[in-house]
Amino acid sequence: MTSEVAAFEKTYRARVDLGVIAGDYPSLMTNLLRQGTPLDMVYSLWHMPQAYAEANWIHDFERFWAKDAAEKEMLPAVRDALTINGKLVGLPYFAFVNGALFANTDVLRKADLEGQYPNTYEELYAQVRLIKRRGASDTPYLPSFWSAPWFGIPFGFIQEALNRNIPLFGPGGHPLFDEQSEVVDMLGQWRSLYQEGLVPPGVLTFQESDWTEAFAKGGIAYSPQLQYDIKTFADPQTSQVAGKIVPVPQQGQKWGMLHVGAYLIGNYGQDDAALARAYGLAQHFGYRDQHTGGFDVPDAWASRYYLTQGYSAVNNSPALAESVARWLPDPETNWPVLKDYLTDPQVATDLFHTTWGSVWMTYASRELPKAVNGDESPAAVVKKLRKKAESLIDEYGN
């Protein structure tokens, strides 16, 4: 980031003060915006801008000179994610799948299952039990963020329900689930995985970094991860499983859901000239640079870190394919699988485009682990989650 900021300053003869915020970034950023802090451009995950826009803390991009061109080039799902009440509110920082399913070919080989990938969660859970019975792994499955940090377990809950085509939320965030929903059985399956010791002990208290570290140590057959982390698993400097981690094809259902980071423009009463400078900074980082006409920063993020972008021109470029081929095992087979994850990802728009979505997810972060560890029944937890959504609609409106 610092090198790209320096490049912008040199090219545009403008000063940029870069602030790195440690800790609970969403809460800290929300407080800064609420206080009217002069923030020209900020980073946000896409479930936050709805609340920011309704509070008038951010500018939309309706006056951005390259808005129409950028929208045409965006992946449709990304454009829709960043469109609030019919207005574009940000440019993409990244777009990848949260919960892309990765497999350790070494463990599968030991279980005599190499290449026999599951097509559904039912097949996945059956296979991890078989892997344990065959002695290939004590804990063959690392689930998708079963903990509270960064709304971990609610993301896992939402994406698995989406993948199973279980309705959760409708227009306006109205809950479509109750104690009779298939999601109760889904949580019951999570409870069984935990009870049978198929997942690492302590998984409910993991921090975000623990997921990559646990999978990178080896011994785990399958894990839904952030899509871009596959490059970390391929690096011998950071992984003990380099060359062994591959993406599981989407052949019967989707794996994971769309995850978007966005560059937003703060609204603190700046004049038009200051707003134009902020748009220029956002364009440099989140679209085609004004001077070069190229996706300079998006291309750099994708090639250096496999941080895929909101534009197919970046994600499907020969340059990225060449970069990925240097570290991805069997790229002729696995590169098309990785690209397929962003072809038509599932999205949680009906929840994330509510003012109260992050409040519900904070509540769900505390309640969902109770269904996993047995403190409460899955049906009881689901009932509470629905009641919370209904109360938030009453409080905030649709």
For 251, phi and psi rounded to 5 degrees? Answer: -115, -25
The DSSP letter of residue 206 is -
Confidence at residue 6, expressed as pLDDT on a 0 to 100 scale: 63
Q: What is the rounded distance in angstroms from the CA atom of residue 258 to the CA atom of residue 45?
A: 11
- Tell me which residue of 199, 177, 201 sits closest to 360, measured CA to CA: 177
Q: Tell me how far the alpha carbon of residue 169 is from its chain's centroid.
A: 18
User: 83 with 89: CB under 8 angstroms?
Assistant: yes
Confidence at residue 10, expressed as pLDDT on a 0 to 100 scale: 60
Confidence at residue 343, expressed as pLDDT on a 0 to 100 scale: 93
Confidence at residue 2, expressed as pLDDT on a 0 to 100 scale: 72
Q: How far apart are the first and last CA of the chain?
A: 37
Q: Within a 13 Å sphere around the CA of 58, how many CA atoms are in the beta-carbon half?
A: 28
Confidence at residue 8, expressed as pLDDT on a 0 to 100 scale: 60
- Tell me which residue of 391, 368, 398 sits closest to 190, measured CA to CA: 368
What percentage of the chain exceeds 70 in pLDDT? Answer: 93
Confidence at residue 209, expressed as pLDDT on a 0 to 100 scale: 84
Q: Which residues contact 247 (CB under 8 A, 6 or more apart)?
A: 100, 101, 102, 103, 230, 334, 337, 338, 341
The DSSP letter of residue 44 is E
Confidence at residue 22, expressed as pLDDT on a 0 to 100 scale: 63
Partner residues linked to 225 by β-bridges: 100
Collapsing DSSP states into helix, strand and coil, what is residue 43? strand
- pTM, rounded to two decimals: 0.94
Confidence at residue 21, expressed as pLDDT on a 0 to 100 scale: 63
Residue that the structure tokens 């005599």 belong to: 112
Confidence at residue 26, expressed as pLDDT on a 0 to 100 scale: 72
Q: Within a 13 Å sphere around the CA of 345, how many CA atoms are in the beta-carbon half?
A: 29
Q: What is the rounded distance in angstroms from the CA atom of residue 154 to the CA atom of residue 160?
A: 10
- Tell me which residue of 390, 398, 382 sits closest to 191, measured CA to CA: 382
Partner residues linked to 94 by β-bridges: 261
Collapsing DSSP states into helix, strand and coil, what is residue 299? helix
Q: Which residues of the chain have pLDDT under 70?
A: 1, 4-25, 148-151, 398
> How far apart, in Å, are the Cα atoms of 221 and each of 106, 130, 139, 216, 245?
8, 11, 8, 11, 9
pLDDT in tens, 77-136: 999 999 999 999 999 999 999 999 999 999 999 999 999 999 999 999 999 999 999 999
Collapsing DSSP states into helix, strand and coil, what is residue 262? strand
Residue that the structure tokens 């299952």 belong to: 113
Taking residue 101's Cβ as centre, other Cβ atoms within 10 Å add up to 24
